[in-house]
A and B are shown apart, each in its own frame.
Chain A
Amino acid sequence: MLEASGVSKSFGGLKAVDSASLDVQAGEIVALIGPNGAGKTTLFATLAGFHRPDAGRIVFDGREITGEPPHRICAAGMVRTFQITQPFAKISVRENLMVGAYLRVDSRSEARRRAEAAATQVGMAGQLDRLGAALTVAGRKRLELARALATGPRLLLLDEVMAGLNPTEIAEIVEIIRAIRASGITILLIEHVMQAVTSLADRVYVLNQGRMIAEGTPAEIAGNSDVVEAYLGHGAAKVLRA
C-alpha cells in the first residue's frame, strides 16, 4: 500500500533521514521505532508531504506521491497525526472533527455525522462540545486520532499517540487502534511505548541516525543486537548476553 525507497532528507548539514526504505501492506499495523532524534518524525513528515525528500521515491497505492503537497496526499487517503498535538484550540471538538470530515463531504449535516462517528470510534463522544484548548493530554491525543479518522483515510500515520499517557490510557488507545485496523484502515505508527508496539505491530522498522537498521516481527527486533546497541550504546548487546 505504501512503499518508500531510498528516502533522504537533510536540514542544513544534518542528514535527518538517510536513504530509508519501508513498505506497508494493506491491513497491516507497522511500527517505526528508534531512539530520540533518529529521524522518525522527519520520515513521517516526508511521507505525508510536509517535507520534500532530497532523494528517494514514495509510492502510495501504486501512485507516486513524492513531493506532492500534504493536502493532496491526505485526499489520496494517507493522513498523519502530530506528535506535538495541534488542536484547533478555539473551536469545539465537534468542529475540529468536522474540518477533517469536510475533506470528503460538502454537507454540514453529513460532516457532523462523520465527526460524531469518529469521536465515538476513539471514545470521546462525551467531549464533543468542549473546546480544543480545554482537553487534557489524553484528550488531545484522541482528538488527533479522531480528526485524522474523520478524513476517511485508508492509511493512518500515527506519531506517538501514546506519549505522555498513563498505563490505563495506553491500554485504551491500544484497543482503539486495534478496532481501527479491524475497520479496514492500515496503520503505520511511531511509538516509544514498547509494550504497545509488541502487542500491536505485525512488523517493526527500526530507524537510527536516519538509517533503517532493522526490520522484522517484534520478537525478531527485540533480539536484534544492532537494535539493542542503538538504544543502549555500543557494546551493550554483549553485556546483556553475558
Chain B
Amino acid sequence: MSEAKKSLLVIGAGIAGITAALEAAETGAEVVLIEREATIGGRVLRLNNYFPKMCPPSCGMEINIRRLERNPRIRVLTRSKVTAAETGDGGWSVEITTEPAWVKANCTACGDCESACTTEIDDPHNLGMSKTKAIRLPHPSAWPKIYTFDRAAVSDDEAKKIAEACTYDAVDLDAQETTQTLEFGAVVVATGWKPYPLEKLEELGGDLDDVVANVQMERMASASGPTGGVIRKPSNGEAPARVAFVQCAGSRDVNHLNYCSGVCCLASLKQARYVKEQLPDAEVTMYYIDRRTPGRNEDFLLGSAELEGVTLTKGKVGRIEKSNGGLKLHVEDVENEVILEAEADLVVLATGMVPNAVDDDLAVFTRKDDDGFVLDDLEAGVTVAGVARRPEDVAASVRDATGAAARAMVAAGRRA
C-alpha cells in the first residue's frame, strides 16, 4: 500500500475544510489542503460574530491556525484550484493549479508596497463595500500573513514601482502559474458557498443603496469592515432609525433557491442584536415566514425577541421600493390579517447560501443533488463537509467536517 494512496486532499480552506484537514492530520493522515483565495478562513472570517455565543470567529481561527502550523502532515496550498481530476486504480489523481506567487513567502507585511500602490480595487474581503489597494494584506487575520497582489489590476509601470518599493525583494513580477499532479486516497470536498446575489432580488430592492444582504451586514458590523464596525445607511452614512430584516429573501422559493438555508433566521436575530447594541433607540423588525431556530437556538430567538424595540412580524415581504427618502415594504401581517406598508431606513435581506459547486463540474463532484449540493460517494472516495454538502451553521460545519475526515480516511484505507 503506497503512502500517497492513503493521503487526503481537502478542497477548500473554510471552517469545514480546515477542520477536516486538521482532524485527519491529527489522526495520522497526510493531507493537502487547497484554497483558491490567498488566505484561509473563507466565509467565517467575513462574519462579525457567531450565534449564539456572539463571539468573533477570529479566536477560533487562531486556535486552528496554531494547530495547522504545528502539524507537519498538512500542506496548505493557497491561490490553488483543482483543474483536473481522475479516479481509478484505487485513488484520485488530481491536477492542482496555483496562481502566480506575485508576493513571495519572505514578505514581512511591512506595507511599503501598499504605499507605492495607487490603484484601488473593490475589496473582496468586504464584499465590494469598500476599496482597497491592489496590493494589500487581505485582512487582519490573514494566514499566511503575506501580502496579496491583484497584478491584473495595475499597469506594468505601477507594478514595477510596487516591486521596487519592497526592501525584501518579495514582489516577483516574473512569477508563473504552476501546475502539479498529486495522488490521493480520498478527497474531502469542502468547497463552501456564496451568498445568493442581490441582483436577482430586484422586487425586494436588491438594487437600492439602503438594501443590503445579511453577509454585508456582517461586514458592516465588523471592526475590520468597511465602516469600522459602524452600522449606517450606505446611501448617506446616517444611522438608521428603523431597520427591517426580510427573511427568506430568495429562499424557499421555486423562483430562486428552493430550499431553506437554515441559518438566516438566527443570523438576522444576531444582527438585530448588533443594531440594538449600537443604536438602542432603533426600531428593529424582522419579517418572517417561519422562525427556524432549531434546538437550543430557540433560547437565542426568545432572548432576541425580548429586546425592547425588536418586533417579529409573521409575513413575507413581497415588494420593497423607495418612498420619501426611506424604503417602503409591502407585507401582510399574517397574525393580524392586515397589509402593512411598513417603512424602514435600512433593510437587510436574509439571503441564503448557494453551494459553490452548483456551477462547477469537477470530476470529484461525483454526486450532486438538484440544488448543487455535493453528496458523499464513499465508493469513489469522496466525502463532503460543510455547506458544500448542505446549508448549515459554523458549529454544524465543524461537526460535519470531523465526520467527513473520518469517512475519507476509511475510504482511503479501503481503496488502497
B partners with A: no
